Amino acid sequence: MRIGVLAESRPGERRVALPPEAVSALCAADHAVVVQSGAGRHLYATDDDYRAAGAEIADSAELIAAQAELLAVVNPPEPSVIAAMPSGASLLGLLNPFQEAQAILALREQGVSAYALELVPRISRAQSVDALSSQALVAGYRAALVGAELLPRFFPLFMTAAGTIPPARVLVLGAGLAGLQAIATARRLGAVVSGYDVRAAAADEVRSLGASFVELNLETQEGAGGYARSQSADFAERQHAALAPFVADADVVITTASIPGRAAPLLVTEEMVAGMRPGSVVVDLAAQSGGNCALSKPGETGVFNGVSVWGGADVPSQLPVHASKLYGANVSAFIALLKAGDAADEILAGSRVTEGGRFVHEGVRKALAPDEAEPAPAVAAEPEGAPEPEPATERATGGEPRPGSGPEAVAASEPGTDRPDQPEQGE
C-alpha cells in the first residue's frame, strides 16, 4: 500500500500521523511511504530521518494526496488536499466528523473511504488502535503540569527549618482517562488530590490512585456499558450546589468531562469561580467543546478575581514527541487491519464514515445528511451446500468491557477511552 503522510497545517498542531519509527516498521511490512517535507519538524525529526526510515520525501501535500492509496493525518486535511484525492482512496485520522461537516461532506463527494479513529468501537482487540486513549493520556498529564505551573505555590509538602509548607489541594472533575492521568500526575507532584465523577463505579479507580473520592450523595449517572449518561438540568443544578464547597476549597481544579459530538457539560459556574481563593487555578481540558468552566476560552488564560482559568486547545500537541509516538502506533495498527482486507471487520466498519460517495456510518449520516438514503446492509454470500443455521438461543451482549481501562492502565500509560457513541467521556 502507498501511504501518504502530511505536515499538519492547522495553527498550533504539532503532531504528525506517523513518526520515523512508525514509518520504518511500515516500510519493513512492504508498504511505500511518502512524507511531506517538514512533517516531523516539531518532533525534531528531519527529512533525512524519514529517508533513513525508508520514506520518500515530497514537497506538495496535493501531490502526495493524488498518489496515495491511504492518507494518514491527525486532523482533516485542507480542501485542496481532499480535492486531489482519487476516488476510492482512503483517509485515516481524528476526523471529528460531527464538527468537521464541511470536510466530511467533501470526502463523501470525492468518493473517499474516510476512517475516523474517534468512532472505533469499544472492544478488547481495538486497544491498539485506540487513539482517543493515547491522546487522553497526554492531555491528562499535561493538565496537571499546567496547574502546577500556574499555581503560585508548591504542590508538595515541605518541612523546613523556616517552617512547614502544606501541600496544594487539587480537585479533578471527571474520572475518565484524562482525569485519572491528571490524578496520578498531581499525586506524583505531591499534591493532596480528590476526584469526582457522576459514575459511582469510578470511585474505586480514583481511590486506587491514592486520591479521595468526593461523595455528593446524588444518584449515579451510569449509562450503558458503565459509562456516564447525559444529565438533566435538575441534576446539573443540584450537582453545582453540591460541588461548590469542594471547588472553593481547592487550590487547583482540573476539569476533563467532554461529550464527543456535543457541547461539554458545565461543571464550574462563574459563581463557583468567584468563590475560589485568589491565586487558585482552573484547568479546563474541554474548553474547545464548550468548556466545563463557564469562564474558559480555548487557548487562553484569563484571570477572574485573582483566579487563573486556563482553557485547553489541542492539548496533546503541546507534547508532540510522545503524542505522535503513541498516535503513530495507533495508526500503524489500523493500517495492519486495512492490509488484512476484511472490510466487514467490526473495527473498520465501525469507524468508516464515507465510502463510494455515501455515508456509511449511521450516526454521521443522520447528523450531516439526514435525507440521504440509508445504505443497504451488506449480505455475506452463503457457501454452496452450507447447512441451515440453527435458531439462536442466546442474544449476544456486545463487546465486553475493555481491559486496561482502569487505574492500572493509567499507571502503565495505556488507558482506554470513551467513544462518540457513548454519551460521556471523562466524567
Phi, psi of 178, deg, nearest 5: -65, -40
Tens digit of each residue's pLDDT (9 = 90 or more) over 161-202: 999 999 999 999 999 999 999 999 999 999 999 999 988 889
Residue 407 lies in a domain: no
227 is catalytic: yes
Q: Judge if 46 and 118 occupy the same domain.
A: yes
Residue where a domain stops, chosen among 336, 351, 368: 368
Catalytic residue among 50, 115, 196, 227: 227
**Which of these, 96, 79, 81, lies nearest to 6 by C-alpha position?**
81
Q: Judge if 311 and 168 occupy the same domain.
A: yes
Residue where a domain stops, chosen among 286, 301, 318: 318
Residue 235 lies in a domain: yes
Residue where a domain stops, chosen among 336, 353, 368: 368
pLDDT the model gives residue 147:
98
Q: Judge if 325 and 313 occupy the same domain.
A: no
Residue 390 lies in a domain: no
What is the SS3 string spanning the chain?
Answer: CEEEECCCCCCCCCCCCCCHHHHHHHHHCCCEEEEECCCCHHHCCCHHHHHHCCCEEECCHHHHHHHCCEEECCCCCCHHHHHHCCCCCEEEECCCCCCCHHHHHHHHHHCCEEEEHHHCCCCHHHHHHCHHHHHHHHHHHHHHHHHHHHCCCCCCCEEECCEEECCCEEEEECCCHHHHHHHHHHHHCCCEEEEECCCCCHHHHHHHCCCEECCCCCCCCECHHHCECCCCHHHHHHHHHHHHHHHHHCCEEEECCECCCCCCCCCECHHHHHCCCCCCEEEECCHHHCCCECCCCCCCEEEECCEEEEECCCHHHHCHHHHHHHHHHHHHHHHHHHHHCCCCCHHHHHHEEEECCEECCHHHHHHHCCCCCCCCCCCCCCCCCCCCCCCCCCCCCCCCCCCCCCHHHHHCCCCCCCCCCCCCECC
* CATH classification at residue 41: 3.40.50.720
The domain total for the chain is 2
Say which residue, 261 or 245, is predicted with more confidence. Answer: 245
Q: Which residues form the domain of 230? A: 137-318
pLDDT the model gives residue 384:
44
Tens digit of each residue's pLDDT (9 = 90 or more) over 235-256: 899 999 999 999 999 999 999 9
Q: Judge if 151 and 193 occupy the same domain.
A: yes
Q: Judge if 242 and 335 occupy the same domain.
A: no
Catalytic residue among 130, 284, 314, 418: 130
What is the SS3 string spanning 140-174?
Answer: HHHHHHHHHHHCCCCCCCEEECCEEECCCEEEEEC
102 is catalytic: no
Half-sphere exposure of 180 (CA within 13 A, CB side): 31
Find where cell 512533517 sits: 39
What is the rounded average pLDDT of the residues 47-75? 98
Find where cell 489500523 sits: 334
Scored b (16 or more CB within 10 A) or e, 219-257 reads eebbeeeebbeebeeeeeebbbeebbebbbebbbbbbbb
What is the rounded average pLDDT of the residues 336-362? 96
Residue 406 lies in a domain: no
The one-letter amino acid at 267: L
pLDDT the model gives residue 416:
37
| Rounded CA separation 144/161 (Å) | 29
Query: Picking from 14-18, 133-137, 231-235, 338-342, which range would have the lowest pLDDT averaged per residue?
Result: 231-235
130 is catalytic: yes
127 is catalytic: yes
Tens digit of each residue's pLDDT (9 = 90 or more) over 132-147: 999 999 999 999 999 9
Query: Given pLDDT bands bounded at 50, 70 and 90, which one contains residue 263?
Result: confident
Following CA atoms 342, 345, 347, 349 in sequence, which dihedral angle do they give, to the nearest 10 degrees?
90
pTM: 0.85
Catalytic residue among 67, 127, 422, 425: 127
| Rounded CA separation 9/186 (Å) | 33
What is the rounded average pLDDT of the residues 95-115? 96
| Rounded CA separation 4/73 (Å) | 9
Q: Judge if 152 and 219 occupy the same domain.
A: yes
Catalytic residue among 36, 133, 308, 324: 133
Residue 426 lies in a domain: no
Residue 385 lies in a domain: no
Q: Judge if 312 and 241 occupy the same domain.
A: yes
Residue 375 lies in a domain: no
169 is catalytic: no
Q: Judge if 120 and 142 occupy the same domain.
A: no
Q: List all residues 6 or more positions away from 233 whose beta carbon is below 8 Å from its beta carbon.
A: none
| Rounded CA separation 9/317 (Å) | 13
Q: Judge if 153 and 261 occupy the same domain.
A: yes
What order of strands is seen across the sheet that includes strand 281-284?
212-213, 192-196, 169-173, 252-255, 281-284, 307-311, 301-304
pLDDT the model gives residue 393:
36
Q: Judge if 160 and 222 occupy the same domain.
A: yes
Catalytic residue among 14, 108, 122, 419: 122
Find where cell 460541588 sits: 243
Residue 305 lies in a domain: yes
Q: Judge if 194 and 310 occupy the same domain.
A: yes
Q: Judge if 247 and 154 occupy the same domain.
A: yes
